[in-house]
Chain A
Amino acid sequence: MPSSAIISVKNISKIYRVTDVETLALKNVSFQVNRGEFIAIMGPSGSGKSTLMHILGALDIPSSGQYLLDGMDVSKLSDDQLADIRNQKIGFIFQAFNLLPRTSALKNVCLPMAYAGISKAQRLSSAIELLTRVGLSDRMYHTSNQLSGGQQQRVAIARSLSLNPTIILADEPTGNIATAQAEEIMAIFQKLNSEGHTVIMITHEQDIADHARRILFIRDGKLESDHPVSKRRFSKLKV
């Protein structure tokens, strides 16, 4: 096993069982991700992209197969170890944002840092910096329900970056965002990637996917193709 593989999945399957009906959301998916890669996962709706991402983010467990994160078998980790990995190693951006309701943007961004035991003053200054970076310096005290979809998306991004995670997993980070803002997000991801962070994002759009270095294509729960981006796009924005 190459030591540079930060993520290694082998024959992963996921079966959802809803009242006797079984959905095979993932079928024997195997691939590896090296440290510092920037991957886009593409595929039609319902093909299993989010399911795969949740497993990669240690938010869900596969029905079968093995998932090694940084060389550790995730299925053998304790609940607390998993919590710490989700907290510090992985920054997860949900397709549905998942902000705490009725809670300010600032507080939302602070939350993972609170669980990491970072002091309040430091949490606040980091959160302010992150929100400014995603262009929300004037919306810090708005609660989640007072923000637009795109603004919530950016709060979720800021939150995922709050502990400077090695791996950033983003489920359609630009799905609710205008093109100009999507460009900004890509600039941030490319910057993070150039700093050494491993970035994996799901997207439906080819020009967003072209910001990555490698594209995985999933159809009906199967990994259909895995190839490098031929003509990579670079965001011209400075972040």
Chain B
Amino acid sequence: MMNLLEIIEESFGTLTLNKTRTGLAILGIVIGIGSVIALMSLGQASQKSITERIESLGSNMLTIMPGSMTQGVVRGEAGGRTTLTLDDAKAIASSDQITTIKSVSPEVSSRRQVTTASSNTNTTIQGVVPQYTSVHKVEIASGNFVTQRDVDSMTKVAVLGPTTVTDLFGENAEAVGKTIRISGQVYTVIGVTAAKGGTGFNNADDAVYVPISTAQKLLLGQNYVNSIALEAQSADMMVEAQDQVGYFLLSRHKLSDPSQADFSIMSQQDMINTISSATQTFTTLLSGIAAISLLVGGIGIMNIMLVTVTERTREIGLRKALGARKKTIVTQFLTESVILTFTGGVVGIVFGVATSFVISKVTSSGFVISISSIFLAFIVSAAIGILFGWYPAKRASDLEPIVALRYE
């Protein structure tokens, strides 16, 4: 009898003899595993970065949105976006019934073209009140933020985010005291916010903050607000605050039934849940694609294993004729498949992780590696590889040697 070490050596020998077959089988596994890992981590990274973005907004924050809420999804029918006003915000701030809220920040926002004499940019105009900084944890790097006086007298002043400063005046330029034009109107820059980090939409660093009254009257021509952000006294008062503000607004809006509410109050957790359910769909979609690529990889492995069955059956016939026991043959072929799938598996994992890393760098999203997707991909392709390496070998070794030798 041949010992295991020699059987393994024999397997390596056969694998190096048939380089094309070996290469193709490994390639199938690499593609199967690599793409699954890359796709899964892409999905999870985007989910994680969105969650982190929301968390960075501050954990005591509640947001009142116009429109009703159904099953965790904000339903905004046409015209239903106008139900919140500046007076609602003032009433919340001054009410004696509401004890859990520290600051109230009504907000309007819209994208506008902002220009200077030499450059221009398209950015978010945020109409704000002084409480904005406290609710959203915004720091001032230079100058001042919008004051109550600016709001009351509807002054044309602006506070810029650092990215906007760079876009309009250049890197590290002094912006305070300069003027900019928003929709043709001249505004004086009175401050610059400190960088918060972040990219894409809703980037606090790429924004122009103006008094909410100015934004409503002079820029947007609307008397409703887009949202009211609230800062609760503490994180453990969130539920109570949600209730207090909810009932207060219901009675203010003369609605008796909470199901008729023309607004919705979301805590940060609600937002995470809502957005997560959206990104979950995306991740599920990616997982679907990943599953297909795993299947394609698996079929690749299966094909290359089955294509060589004729040649291998003859080889098995010959080995049996020369005195190989069934177990020795099956062990050899099993070892071959294991070597193939493990080599392919390791290369595939490296390939998948590297691809995810590159994607995370290019999209500057987080780099997340899901151990479970690595396991899943590895186990599935290893199972396919081993099954289709082992099964034909087992079947061939059950034949009379001469029958296997004559197999076509």
Residues on A close to B: CB < 8 A?
54, 57, 59-61, 79-80, 83-84, 86-88, 92, 94, 98, 100-103, 107, 111-112, 114-117, 120, 159, 163
- Choose one: A54, A87, A120; the contact of B323 (CB below 8 Å): A87
- Contact at A79–B2, with CB atoms within 8 Å? no
Chain B residues with CB under 8 A of A107:
13
Q: Are A112 and B323 CB-contacts (below 8 A) given A61-B400, A86-B401, A102-B17? A: yes
- Contact at B323–A80, with CB atoms within 8 Å? no
Q: Is B55 an interface residue (CB 8 A)?
A: no
Give the complex CA separation of A50 and B2 in angstroms: 30
Chain B residues with CB under 8 A of A60:
400-403
Give the complex CA separation of A139 and B274 in angstroms: 75
- Contact at A84–B323, with CB atoms within 8 Å? yes
Q: Is B318 an interface residue (CB 8 A)?
A: yes
Chain B residues with CB under 8 A of A115:
1-2, 319, 322-325, 328
Give the complex CA separation of A100 and B315 in angstroms: 7
Q: Which residue of A lies closest to B400 (CB)?
A: A60
Q: Are A83 and B2 CB-contacts (below 8 A) given A98-B318, A111-B319? A: no
Q: Which residue of B lies closest to A102 (CB)?
A: B17
- Contact at A83–B17, with CB atoms within 8 Å? no
- Contact at A98–B400, with CB atoms within 8 Å? no
Q: Tell me, rounded to whole Å, the shortest Cβ–Cβ distance linking A88 to chain B.
A: 7
Chain A residues with CB under 8 A of B323:
83-84, 86-88, 112, 115-116, 163
Q: Tell me, rounded to whole Å, the shortest Cβ–Cβ distance linking A26 to chain B.
A: 14
Q: Are A59 and B322 CB-contacts (below 8 A) given A102-B17, A117-B2? A: no
Q: Is B320 an interface residue (CB 8 A)?
A: yes
Report the contact-size class of chain B (Cβ under 8 Å from the partner).
Answer: 20 to 34
Residue interface bits B302-330, CB-to-A below 8 A is 1, else 0:
00000000010001001111111111100
- Choose one: B2, B6, B321; the contact of A98 (CB below 8 Å): B321
Q: Is B405 an interface residue (CB 8 A)?
A: yes
- Known A94-B405, A102-B18, A112-B322; further 5 A-B contacts with Cβ < 8 A: A59-B402, A86-B322, A103-B17, A115-B2, A116-B323
26 A-B contact pairs sorted by A residue (CB < 8 Å): A54-B402, A59-B401, A59-B402, A60-B401, A61-B400, A79-B326, A80-B325, A80-B327, A83-B320, A83-B324, A83-B325, A83-B326, A84-B323, A86-B320, A86-B322, A87-B322, A88-B323, A98-B318, A100-B315, A101-B311, A103-B17, A112-B322, A112-B323, A115-B1, A115-B324, A115-B325
Q: Which residue of A lies closest to B403 (CB)?
A: A60
- Contact at A80–B2, with CB atoms within 8 Å? no
Q: Which residue of A lies closest to B327 (CB)?
A: A80
- Contact at A98–B405, with CB atoms within 8 Å? yes
Q: Is B174 an interface residue (CB 8 A)?
A: no
List residues of B (5-45) whose CB comes within 8 Å of A's CBs: 6, 10, 13, 17-18
Instruction: Give 3 nearest A-B pairs by CB, closest first.
Output: A87-B323, A60-B402, A59-B402
Give the complex CA separation of A114 and B7 in angstroms: 9
Q: Which residue of B lies closest to A89 (CB)?
A: B323
Q: Tell me, rounded to whole Å, the shortest Cβ–Cβ distance linking A31 to chain B.
A: 21
Choose among B1, B315, B321, B405 the residue with the greatest number of A CB atoms under 10 Å from its CB.
B321
Give the complex CA separation of A62 and B1 in angstroms: 27
Chain A residues with CB under 8 A of B17:
102-103
- Choose one: B318, B400, B405; the contact of A100 (CB below 8 Å): B318
Q: Is B3 an interface residue (CB 8 A)?
A: yes
Q: Are A80 and B400 CB-contacts (below 8 A) given A98-B318, A111-B319? A: no
Chain A residues with CB under 8 A of B324:
83, 87, 115
- Contact at A111–B322, with CB atoms within 8 Å? yes
Give the complex CA separation of A84 and B325 in angstroms: 8
Q: Tell me, rounded to whole Å, the shortest Cβ–Cβ distance linking B329 to chain A.
A: 9
Chain A residues with CB under 8 A of B10:
114
Choose among A83, A102, A159 the residue with the greatest number of B CB atoms under 10 Å from its CB.
A83
